[in-house]
Structure 1
Amino acid sequence: MKFILLTHQRELLRPTNSGKLALDLLPEQSCLMVWDRVKPNADLLSYIETSHVGLVYPAEHSNSSKHIVLTEMSHAQLQLFEYVIILDSTWQEARKMVNKSPYLQGLPTIEINCEYDSTFDLRRNQIEGGLCTAECVAMLLKYNNQIQQSSDVLNSLHQFIVK
């Protein structure tokens, strides 16, 4: 499973972007693609057409008929996906990205059922139960039995937050 951080343009300039941690720690397993409303990334469209791709997105906001809620026992469910798209943006931007991108709307959605509250407090106006990009990556790694990598991402996030 590889992670595609579909990143809003504004996120590239934010010093609080936690997606950078995943990209630095997992260079073989993650990539950044910049979201563009008018001109979608050609590689992303190709992956969606030819691969098994899921989108991390909460069920209550999803229009997809295919929805998975991840829990501790989700390893087999994650094996269905070659790529997992994580929207690297604020929650408000993430909703706009999905609403303005028909190619994302039909993807199976993956909701992370996290057993803890987010520790990411560098931004305001987060949705309840929402996780930052690095936390999403860490939880997906954990549910995929990649415990050490998950721990590395969370430890790096903790250091990032306390700076």
Structure 2
Amino acid sequence: MPCITTRTELLIVRHHKETLKSTNTARMAELAMPRCRIVSYGSPGVPFDASVLEGDDTWLLFPDAHQTPEPGAPLPSRLIVLDGSWGQARRMVQRVPALRRLPGLKLPPPAPDSRRLRRPPHPDGMSTLEAIAGALAHLEGEHVAQPLYALHEHMIDRVMASRGRSI
């Protein structure tokens, strides 16, 4: 597992149904980056504490982001990343007003030939690890993102091998 030091702090808000999925890439991001942590959302009987979203220079990484940084503008020091299916992530934004108030970072769509563990229902869909790598490439440079892209590829290989499929 690589250890990737970032300037940007990452907070992953993971839908509780993602926790035990073998294809969940958020746990890889948390293991690889000391400035990354995961909080759970939507666990039955456990209200979500939106105070974890508060902080200066905090932005939301989301495909429907309403604002993106202009060239030369100050960059966020903290990024909120939603981890779940497209529908789960969209509902998190609808149900947590604090998420809607955050400035947003929108990434370009992934290359059409990108390898996938799950088929995204949205053309801009990508795994959490890919999205984090793309955001960090934009915010800190490709040299920070490259080990995360490599980790994503390695994870795909391992999951496919565990399913008895050739790499």
Tell whether the structures are fold-level matches, with TM greater than 0.5: yes
Aligned residues between the structures? 149
Contact 2:12 2:36 in 1 (8 A): yes
In the other structure, the counterpart of 1:33 is 39
Which of structures 1 and 2 has the bigger CA Rg?
2
Runs of 4+ in 1 over 4 A off after TM superposition: none
Contact 2:69 2:75 in 1 (8 A): no
Whichever residue aligns with residue 117 of structure 2, its letter is L
Q: Provide TM-score, normalisation by structure 2.
A: 0.77
Q: Is it true that 1:52 corresponds to 2:57 in the alignment?
A: yes
What are structure 2's unaligned runs of at least 5 residues?
1-7, 159-167
* CA distance in 1: counterparts of 2:139 and 2:128, whole angstroms: 17
How far did 1:115 drift?
6.0
What are structure 1's unaligned runs of at least 5 residues?
none
* CA distance in 1: counterparts of 2:141 and 2:30, whole angstroms: 16
- Match among 21, 46, 69 for residue 14 of structure 1: 21
In the other structure, the counterpart of 2:94 is 99
Deviations 1:98-140 (Å, cap 9, x if unpaired)? 1111111111111012463473421134310222100111112
Contact 2:50 2:98 in 1 (8 A): no
Secondary structure of 2:22's counterpart equals coil
In the other structure, the counterpart of 2:157 is 162
Aligned pairs for 1:63-142 within 5 A = 64=66, 67-68=67-68, 76-77=72-73, 79-114=74-109, 116-117=111-112, 119-142=114-137
Q: Provide TM-score, normalisation by structure 1.
A: 0.79
Q: Is it true that 1:23 corresponds to 2:30 in the alignment?
A: yes
Identity of aligned residues (%): 23
